[in-house]
Amino acid sequence: MKNDEDDVRAHVLVDYSPPDGPLEVIFRNLKLLVVNKPSGLLSVPGKGEHLADCLETRVKAAYPGALLVHRLDRDTSGVMVFARKPSIQRHINLQFEKRLVEKTYIADVWGDVAGEEGEIDLPIVIDWPNRPLHKICHETGKPSVTRWQVIGRSEGRTRVRLFPKTGRSHQLRVHMLSMGHPILGDAFYAHEAALAAASRLHLHAETLAFHDLDGVRRQYDCPCPF
């Protein structure tokens, strides 16, 4: 039997109204373009004309030849990097593959998280009957590790900084749910009260750090908007 929460999730899958507004560039040079992806905008085009508008399309319209390096979930905001040369794209992609890229996220989660920091080491796999949802599965899941640190508390919610050591789809959302603390505004994984507690998914890619071709480590930051 379907409930209101089921209806909301079904609506999320088919309704797409990307936010308007100018492209927000955090950093640019002849090698890189670092931008702030707004919540509600796809990273890459989806299937169908109604899902054509995305960050990649907008970036390429403003900066022809820009090359996608990685993605964020539609409802996650924050730092995304594009390469402006194929050699730079390969260089950064290799660091992603070797897990050398360092990322931090900010999230507001439901409830009072016990403790001040910890690590979640639980394997994740796509939940095929309910895709695009993912789930914890010790038999078929891929290794997935997230370190977390509490940075603030208020009544009924906790703000955490998240340090993913792996990059599985929906990793942070599934791992926080596994602790019993879904991310606020998460139309896929939050229960009704946590979903209603925020007007958007409270998950933001705060920093991204990697080494350039000269071997110098660079970090790019984007302040949390919520």
- The reported pLDDT for the residue numbered 10 is 44
pLDDT tier at 51, thresholds 50, 70, 90: very high
- The reported pLDDT for the residue numbered 206 is 98
Residue 12 pLDDT > 70: no
pLDDT tier at 62, thresholds 50, 70, 90: very high
143 lies in a domain? Answer: yes
Average pLDDT score, the chain: 94
User: Region 162-185: what's the mean pLDDT?
Assistant: 98
Structure tokens at 124: 């994740």
Residues of the chain above pLDDT 70, percent: 94
226 lies in a domain? Answer: no
User: Region 45-58: what's the mean pLDDT?
Assistant: 95
10 lies in a domain? Answer: yes
Domain that holds residue 96: 4-221
174 lies in a domain? Answer: yes
Q: Measuring CA to CA, which residue among 118, 182, 116 is closest to residue 150?
A: 116
**Can you list the positions of beta strands (E) in 92-215?**
102-110, 117-121, 124-126, 134-136, 145-154, 157-164, 203-211
pLDDT tier at 60, thresholds 50, 70, 90: very high
Residues of the chain above pLDDT 90, percent: 92
First to last CA, the chain: 35
Catalytic residue among 4, 6, 15, 73: 73
Structural domain tally of the chain?
Answer: 1
User: Region 193-215: what's the mean pLDDT?
Assistant: 97
Query: How many angstroms separate the CA atoms of 157 and 162, rounded?
Result: 15
pLDDT tier at 14, thresholds 50, 70, 90: low
Cα 28 to Cα 90, 135, 202, 224, distances in angstroms: 18, 37, 27, 20
Residue 9 pLDDT > 90: no
58 lies in a domain? Answer: yes
User: Region 33-37: what's the mean pLDDT?
Assistant: 98
> Per mean pLDDT, which range of 8-12, 189-193, 197-201 is the poorest?
8-12
Residue 179 pLDDT > 80: yes
Residue 7 pLDDT > 70: no
Residue 150 pLDDT > 60: yes
- What's the CATH code of the domain at 59? 3.30.2350.10
Is the entire prediction scored with pTM above 0.95?
no
Residue 5 pLDDT > 70: no
Q: Measuring CA to CA, which residue among 156, 188, 193, 157 is closest to residue 172?
A: 188
Quick check: is 73 catalytic? yes
pLDDT tens, residue by residue, 97-139: 999 999 999 999 999 999 999 999 999 999 999 999 999 999 9
Q: Measuring CA to CA, which residue among 127, 122, 162 is closest to residue 145?
A: 122
